[in-house]
Amino acid sequence: MREGCSMTNEGITTDVVIIGSGMAGLMAALQLSKRRKVTIVTKSAIGAGNSEKAQGGIAAAISADDSTSSHIKDTLAAGFNHNNERVVNKLIEQAGPVMNMFFSWNTPFDRDDKGDFQLAKEGAHSRRRVFHAGGDATGFHMIKHVKEQCSKIYKCWNILWLMIF
């Protein structure tokens, strides 16, 4: 155990325990820490995992010629309609707000000479809607920025890092 852990003989008091500190764990911690005391239990280093290795990018239908309905349609078609439609809708509807969060943290998504985002058209997508950062280092940059936000909260809010080796 190390880094920021304050465990007493009586143990830890917490409202929520999150196992893992990849993108899912850190984003959940950020949201939940607004209302709850959150403890993250993770192995290895904070942020280590698949998320920081993600290369291709993150899809969000937020350009003027794109739409959430088109993104949903493409996703359902790519899954041969075996997808859970309710989950697909919910995830894709959140793409805009989530990207705005990362923009507000100055995550360095790649831009062209004119300053517009360089959007890639990956398999199954009918439009260019995949944002990437540092070429193929998208996950690295996104985890770096979400970790920074968690660290700020850790100082003044209630995220406790409990790292188990």
Ligand X SMILES: Cc1cc2nc3c(=O)[nH]c(=O)nc-3n(C[C@H](O)[C@H](O)[C@H](O)COP(=O)(O)OP(=O)(O)OC[C@H]3O[C@@H](n4cnc5c(N)ncnc54)[C@H](O)[C@@H]3O)c2cc1C
The beta-strand segments (E) located in 86-127 are none
In whole angstroms, how close is the CB of 147 to ligand X at the nearest point? 11
Among 36, 53, 73, 147, which residue sits at the site for ligand X (rule: CB under 6 A)?
A: 53
Give 9 or 148: the residue with its C-beta nearer to ligand X: 148
Site for ligand X in 32-51 (CB under 6 A): 41-44, 48-51
d(CA 26, CA 30): 6
Pairing of strands 130-131, 58-59: antiparallel
In whole angstroms, how close is the CB of 13 to ligand X at the nearest point? 20
Cβ count within 10 A of residue 25: 22
Name residue 17's beta-bridge partners: 39
- Helix (H) / strand (E) containing 29: helix 23-32
Nearest to 141 by CA among 21, 60, 47: 47
**Are 99 and 16 a contacting pair, CB within 8 Å?**
no
Q: Does 55 bind ligand X (CB under 6 A)?
A: yes
Mask of contacts with ligand X, 131-160, x by CB under 6 A? -------xx---------------------
Total residues binding ligand X (CB under 6 A): 23
Give 48 or 153: the residue with its C-beta nearer to ligand X: 48
In whole angstroms, how close is the CB of 46 to ligand X at the nearest point? 7
Q: Does 25 bind ligand X (CB under 6 A)?
A: yes
Name residue 42's beta-bridge partners: 163
Provide the binding-site residues for ligand X, judged by CB under 6 A.
19-25, 41-44, 48-51, 53-58, 138-139
